Amino acid sequence: MRIGIYPGSFDPLTYGHMDIIERALKVCDKLVVGILLNSSKNNLFSLDERVEILRHCCREYENVEVMSFGGLLTDYCKKHKINCIIRGLRAVSDFEYEITLASINRRLAPDVDTVFLMARDENLFVSSSVVREVSRYNGDISTLVPPHVAEKLKAKFS
């Protein structure tokens, strides 16, 4: 069985993430969406809020499990028998960062492969940081995030 993990901060979840999750489900039999515990970052949404948002938005996918994790991604993979890391490709700078990560993860866990998927053209430029910036000033984010996330953002900034 192919079990994949799609790691990220998801602060907040965007249509770009949803796009990758849907594609990943065609490659994996089961997908763990892994929210990174990252104490050093100033997050907009708490870990609990992000877990709730992701669970809500993925509630219709039977094979998706939303989890949080700390420590090394490869340790988490070994422990949970995950054999596939899912990454979304966006821009060039991303790409460089991604092959570095994939190269290091392969050293740490040679049996875990990294699979890169590409979001639809209209989602290629969507990122969580753009969403945070636009919603902070009450800009229209309806093409960037699912309605549930839009509501949570509205509540956060009102």
Residues with catalytic roles: 17, 41, 90, 128
Q: Where are the extended beta strands (E) located within 48-106?
A: 64-69, 84-89
Alpha carbon distance 134, 132 (integer Å)? 6
The answer to whether the beta carbons of residues 105 and 114 sit under 8 Å apart is yes
Asked if 96 is part of the footprint of a copy of itself (rule: CB under 8 A), the reply reads yes
Q: Which stretch binds a copy of itself (CB under 8 A): 31-39, 44-52, 105-113, 150-158?
A: 105-113
Asked if 68 is part of the footprint of a copy of itself (rule: CB under 8 A), the reply reads no
Q: Which stretch binds a copy of itself (CB under 8 A): 31-39, 46-54, 56-64, 92-100?
A: 92-100
Looking up tokens 């093409």 gives 143
Q: Which is nearer to a copy of itself, 55 or 129 (CB)?
A: 129
Among the listed residues 8, 13, 14, 23, the single contact to a copy of itself using CB under 8 A:
23
Q: Which is nearer to a copy of itself, 58 or 119 (CB)?
A: 119
Among the listed residues 48, 60, 121, 155, the single contact to a copy of itself using CB under 8 A:
121
Q: Is 71 left (phi over 0), alpha (psi -120 to 50) or beta?
A: left
The answer to whether the beta carbons of residues 32 and 80 sit under 8 Å apart is yes
